[in-house]
A and B are shown apart, each in its own frame.
Chain A
Amino acid sequence: CSCAVVNAVLEIEASKVGCSVPAARKTGTTICGVVFKDGVVLGADTRATEGMIVADKNCSKIHYISPNIYCCGAGTAADTEMTTQLISSNLELHSLSTGRLPRVATANRMLKQMLFRYQGYIGAALVLGGVDCNGPHLYSIYPHGSTDKLPYVTMGSGSLAAMAVFEDRYKPDMEEDAAKQLVRDAIAAGIFNDLGSGSNIDLCVITKNKVNYIRPHDEANKKGVRTGDYKYKQGTTGVLTKAVTPIDLELLEESVQTMDTS
Chain B
Amino acid sequence: MRGQPLLSPVIHREKMAAAPVMMPYFGQQISSKSDLVPDWTRQEVSTGTTIMAVEYDGGVVIGADSRTTTGAYIANRVTDKLTRIHDKIYCCRSGSAADTQAIAEVVAYQLGFHSIELDEPPLVETAANLFRASCYRYREELTAGILVAGWDKRKGGQVYSVPIGGMLVRQPVSVGGSGSTYIYGFMDANYKPGMNKEQCMEITAAALSLAMERDGSSGGVVRLASISEEGVERRVILGNQLPKFSTH
> When the two chains form their complex, are residues B2 and A159 in contact, meaning their CB atoms are under 8 A apart?
yes
> When the two chains form their complex, are residues B102 and A3 in contact, meaning their CB atoms are under 8 A apart?
no
User: Mostly helix, strand, loop or mixed at chain B's interface?
Assistant: loop
| Cα(A4)–Cα(B32), bound, Å | 7
> When the two chains form their complex, are residues B36 and A195 in contact, meaning their CB atoms are under 8 A apart?
yes
Q: Determine the residue in chain B with the shortest Cβ distance to A49.
A: B36
> When the two chains form their complex, are residues B33 and A144 in contact, meaning their CB atoms are under 8 A apart?
no
B98 close to chain A: CB less than 8 A: yes
Give min CB distance, A118 to chain B, whole Å.
Answer: 10
B1 close to chain A: CB less than 8 A: yes
- List chain B residues, Cβ under 8 A from A109: 105
> When the two chains form their complex, are residues A143 and B37 in contact, meaning their CB atoms are under 8 A apart?
no
B181 close to chain A: CB less than 8 A: no
User: Mostly helix, strand, loop or mixed at chain A's interface?
Assistant: loop
Q: Determine the residue in chain B with the shortest Cβ distance to A123.
A: B30
- List chain B residues, Cβ under 8 A from A74: 1-2
| Cα(A157)–Cα(B37), bound, Å | 5
Mark A107-127 against chain B: 1 for CB-CB distance below 8 A, else 0. 001001101100111010100
| Cα(A69)–Cα(B28), bound, Å | 31
Q: Determine the residue in chain B with the shortest Cβ distance to A122.
A: B30
Interface size class on chain B is 35 or more
Q: Determine the residue in chain B with the shortest Cβ distance to A167.
A: B77
| Cα(A51)–Cα(B35), bound, Å | 6
Q: How many residues of A contact B (CB 8 A)?
A: 43
> When the two chains form their complex, are residues B31 and A4 in contact, meaning their CB atoms are under 8 A apart?
yes
> When the two chains form their complex, are residues A196 and B37 in contact, meaning their CB atoms are under 8 A apart?
yes
> When the two chains form their complex, are residues A146 and B37 in contact, meaning their CB atoms are under 8 A apart?
no
- List chain A residues, Cβ under 8 A from B42: 2
> When the two chains form their complex, are residues B102 and A116 in contact, meaning their CB atoms are under 8 A apart?
yes
Q: Determine the residue in chain B with the shortest Cβ distance to A1.
A: B26
> When the two chains form their complex, are residues A119 and B28 in contact, meaning their CB atoms are under 8 A apart?
yes
Give min CB distance, B10 to chain A, whole Å.
Answer: 13
A52 close to chain B: CB less than 8 A: yes
| Cα(A116)–Cα(B31), bound, Å | 18
| Cα(A49)–Cα(B4), bound, Å | 22
B180 close to chain A: CB less than 8 A: no
| Cα(A155)–Cα(B75), bound, Å | 9
| Cα(A116)–Cα(B44), bound, Å | 12
> When the two chains form their complex, are residues B34 and A144 in contact, meaning their CB atoms are under 8 A apart?
no
> When the two chains form their complex, are residues A157 and B29 in contact, meaning their CB atoms are under 8 A apart?
no
Mark B48-85 against chain A: 1 for CB-CB distance below 8 A, else 0. 00000000000000000000101001011011000000
| Cα(A149)–Cα(B109), bound, Å | 20
> When the two chains form their complex, are residues A120 and B4 in contact, meaning their CB atoms are under 8 A apart?
yes
- List chain B residues, Cβ under 8 A from A52: 34, 36
| Cα(A13)–Cα(B35), bound, Å | 25
- List chain B residues, Cβ under 8 A from A119: 28, 141
> When the two chains form their complex, are residues A5 and B31 in contact, meaning their CB atoms are under 8 A apart?
yes
| Cα(A206)–Cα(B32), bound, Å | 33
> When the two chains form their complex, are residues A144 and B4 in contact, meaning their CB atoms are under 8 A apart?
yes
> When the two chains form their complex, are residues B79 and A148 in contact, meaning their CB atoms are under 8 A apart?
yes
Query: Which residues of B from 1 to 25 have beta carbons under 8 Å from A?
Result: 1-5
- List chain A residues, Cβ under 8 A from B44: 120, 144
- List chain A residues, Cβ under 8 A from B217: none
| Cα(A26)–Cα(B34), bound, Å | 12
> When the two chains form their complex, are residues B37 and A148 in contact, meaning their CB atoms are under 8 A apart?
no
> When the two chains form their complex, are residues A125 and B28 in contact, meaning their CB atoms are under 8 A apart?
no
| Cα(A196)–Cα(B28), bound, Å | 23
| Cα(A209)–Cα(B101), bound, Å | 32
| Cα(A3)–Cα(B26), bound, Å | 9
Q: Which residues of A contact B (CB under 8 A)?
A: 1-6, 23-24, 26, 28, 49, 51-52, 74-76, 109, 112-113, 115-116, 119-121, 123, 125, 140, 142-148, 150, 155-157, 159-160, 194-196
Give the 9 A-B CB pairs with smallest separation, nearest first.
Answer: A196-B36, A144-B4, A146-B97, A144-B98, A146-B98, A75-B1, A4-B31, A145-B98, A28-B36
What are 12 A-B interface contacts by the 8 Å CB criterion? A2-B31, A28-B1, A52-B36, A74-B1, A113-B102, A120-B44, A144-B4, A144-B96, A145-B102, A150-B78, A157-B38, A194-B36
